[in-house]
């Protein structure tokens, strides 16, 4: 069962009760914050996806999906046990006239099936329902930055004593941003500091690490 946008918005309203005030937050703000959260989440924990292709005896290149972030590996022929992956010297990713495409060094025979394992972007219908809380917390983080900006804009350099202390309010929203990012990071065992810095997880860490997590650093993938 996939994540539900209405459920995410309901959690956001619990976490930030002010979103229920339509004079402050509109539906477009909630939609934008969730879409931004999905994009941010895709950069740290991209979706593991597969694109299948079939040779025709002459073609060496195929268009890659629109949701591509980067190619993990190319399996050819597909379905062997154990799987057979092409060396990095036998394929390359190329910017086509519209989308990225993958080019194989050798032509595949007619009917030969291969698979491109890639990291892709998340959409709301692809996330599991239990991840609604994580996405709600990340969406709240972006709402907090919006409110901090709005409060900072309300500060007048002419008036020394504001009726409302917008400077303190702006700092409070920024503090909340940090808390929400930290909670999102805890859902997935990420470093809150690295999430705030926009840095991907380390390729290696101290102690045992699952094999599929050892090569997540963007520049490690070739």
Residue 216 half-sphere exposure toward CB, CA atoms < 13 A: 21
Residue count of the chain, please give it.
Answer: 222
| Tokens 């993990």 -> residue | 72
Per residue in 188-221, pLDDT tens?
988 888 888 877 665 544 444 444 444 544 444 4
Tokens at residue 214, please? 């050892």
The DSSP annotation for 51-81 comes to: EEEE--SS--EEEPPTTEEEEEEEESSTT-S
What is the structure's pLDDT at 195?
A: 86
Helix (H, G, I), strand (E, B) or coil at 2: strand
Structure-model confidence comparison of residues 214 and 112, the more confident one: 112
Summarize pLDDT for 143-168 with one digit per residue, the tens: 998 888 877 765 444 445 444 555 67
Transcribe 174-217 into DSSP letters. Answer: HHHHHHHHHHHHHHHT--HHHHHHTPPPPSS-SS---GGGTT-S
Please tell me the predicted confidence (pLDDT) of residue 53.
94
**Residue range 13-72, pLDDT digits in tens:** 899 987 766 556 778 888 999 999 999 999 889 999 999 999 999 989 899 999 999 999
């Amino acid at each position: 069962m996939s994540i539900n946008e209405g459920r995410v918005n309901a959690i956001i309203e619990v976490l930030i009760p002010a979103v229920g005030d339509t004079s402050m937050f509109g539906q477009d703000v909630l939609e934008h914050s969730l879409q931004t959260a999905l994009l941010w989440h895709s950069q740290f924990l991209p979706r593991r996806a597969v694109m299948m292709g079939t040779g025709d005896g002459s073609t060496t290149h195929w268009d890659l999906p629109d949701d591509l972030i980067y190619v993990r590996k190319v399996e050819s022929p597909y379905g062997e046990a154990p799987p057979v992956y092409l060396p990095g010297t036998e394929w390359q990713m190329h910017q086509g006239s519209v989308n990225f495409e993958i080019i194989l060094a050798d032509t595949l025979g007619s009917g030969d099936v291969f698979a491109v394992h890639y990291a892709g972007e998340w959409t709301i219908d692809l996330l599991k329902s239990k991840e609604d809380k994580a996405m709600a917390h990340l969406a709240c983080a972006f709402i907090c930055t919006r409110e901090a900006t709005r409060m900072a804009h309300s500060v007048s350099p002419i008036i020394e004593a504001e009726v409302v202390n917008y400077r303190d309010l702006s700092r409070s929203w920024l503090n909340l941003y940090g808390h929400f990012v930290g909670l999102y990071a805890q859902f997935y065992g990420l470093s809150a500091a690295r999430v705030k810095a926009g840095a991907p997880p380390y390729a290696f860490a101290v102690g045992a690490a699952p094999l599929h997590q050892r090569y997540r650093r963007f520049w490690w993938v070739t």
